[in-house]
Structure 1
């Protein structure tokens, strides 16, 4: 009986420890929404001081040093550890130009995390999430502290419950119409309610790729638009979530990214 109690206490301690480390300090509440199927841009009229990065002027391929995000004469921020790809069935808003990716297989350099460092704190971020899967993690930080972290499994699950869920699946652009039909394509909005962030991290686990385009930031917004995915203060784990999707990613890479080719490291 004594041994049983000891084992129970140890087990409880392990569970408690996991629960403790899995919850980073969260300083803000985020509202997350998705636009209607086929939408590939933010609703700019709803945003204050908005800026959009299309990546079309960037060099194709992997770069450890990344590149600057300049909008005319204004410095918006800088990207580090980047992979830029030409439009194809997996990405490229409008079916043209280039798009942003995080893919350890394609980069040829073990790229699992890319970072956007913002010159000015922002309260909104949005992007066109293409060829989506459950192995993507988006993390927002302010002065080095995590304020929100979410896996895209939440978005996948939300879309799965929609009556028109099939309209989100497959590339919506005429050039690659309905290609990659097994994965969702959607524009996702992230609203920092009552707070700001100055860094965004894009993480992919399992080599399945984290494709996106039309990255949009804004210092403010008039209202929360789109179909609400979540508005809760984040209780979900950034660490346990990562562990869980690691298993998903491992299975996903077997069925998905075999078709992708590595690109040469550029810098």
Structure 2
């Protein structure tokens, strides 16, 4: 009987641990960094199976249905509720082509959110964030559950604390050099160090726009590059904690049963 109870205790702990391991990675498992001022592309040599969306081939204007993202014959995913803009002081990497925006006013359709659905799980996402402000939100999901959400106020505050903060402000491209000088421009990296995601939502919570370009996804990465804005917090301690709680709880039940048996024997 005692052997059976011990096995039950161990099994309970294992079940709880597996439940924790199988859930989507939580927010603490993401690391966020920015590249040097003026950089407008991801560090591709650091990425595994990377794909870039430049938006240059997309039609200008708003589309509720969005478009499919293909890299050659490979289907990367699809965008929904998109606003594509021609180059101006607010966006377009290199000052040419087109760029992605979420803007209630410019869309003419009260656009507040745009969604990227990915056909396979990814562990890295990057974008050139242009004409940045504190009202932009990125949310990462896995199987319909939010695994991470961040407001770009964190990046704005980080850049404000840099000794070379002035180099991030104003459009860096020659066609619009130093225009929109009151807003930062930076390439932001998002590393999921504790799992993967299959959807990214872009939300603008203010009356401004959420301009970006060169969206990059990758199945893996070699290391975390750039200046770290937010460091990931390892989840191993929380997993161990749940295992211990489950084991202790089950052991407590076992102990109560043993004590009860002893009392019955004495009586």
CA drift of 1:206 comes to 1.9
Hey, what's the Cα distance between the residues in 2 that align with 1:143 and 1:87?
Answer: 35
Identify, as 1 or 2, the structure richer in helix.
2
**Which residue of structure 2 lines up, in the alignment, with residue 63 of structure 1?**
63
Residue matched to 1:36: 36
Mapped contact 2:25–2:196 kept (Cα < 8 A):
no
Using structure 1 for the length normalisation, give the TM-score.
0.77
C-alpha change, 1:100 and 1:32, in structure 2 (3 Å) is: same
Pairing of 1:17-96 with structure 2 (within 5 A): 26=26, 29-96=29-96
**How many correspondences in the alignment?**
211
Unaligned runs of 5+ residues in structure 2 are 1-23, 235-267
Query: Deviations 1:237-261 (Å, cap 9, x if unpaired)?
Result: xxxxxxxxxxxxxxxxxxxxxxxxx
User: Deviation of residue 27 (structure 1)?
Assistant: 6.5
* Map of 1:182 onto structure 2: 182
Secondary structure, counterpart of 1:127 in structure 2 = strand
Once the 2 structures are TM-superposed, how far is the Cα of residue 205 of structure 1 from its aligned partner?
A: 1.3
1:244 aligns with: none
Q: How many angstroms does 1:25 deviate by?
A: 8.5
Larger Rg: 1 or 2?
2
Query: Secondary structure at the residue paired with 1:50?
Result: strand
Task: Check conservation: 2:28, 2:232, Cα contact below 8 A.
Answer: no
Cα 1:25–1:224 shift into 2, 3 Å: closer
Structure 1 residues not aligned, in runs of 5+: 1-23, 235-267
- 8 Å Cα contact 1:83/1:101 also seen in 2: yes
SS of equivalent to 1:158: helix
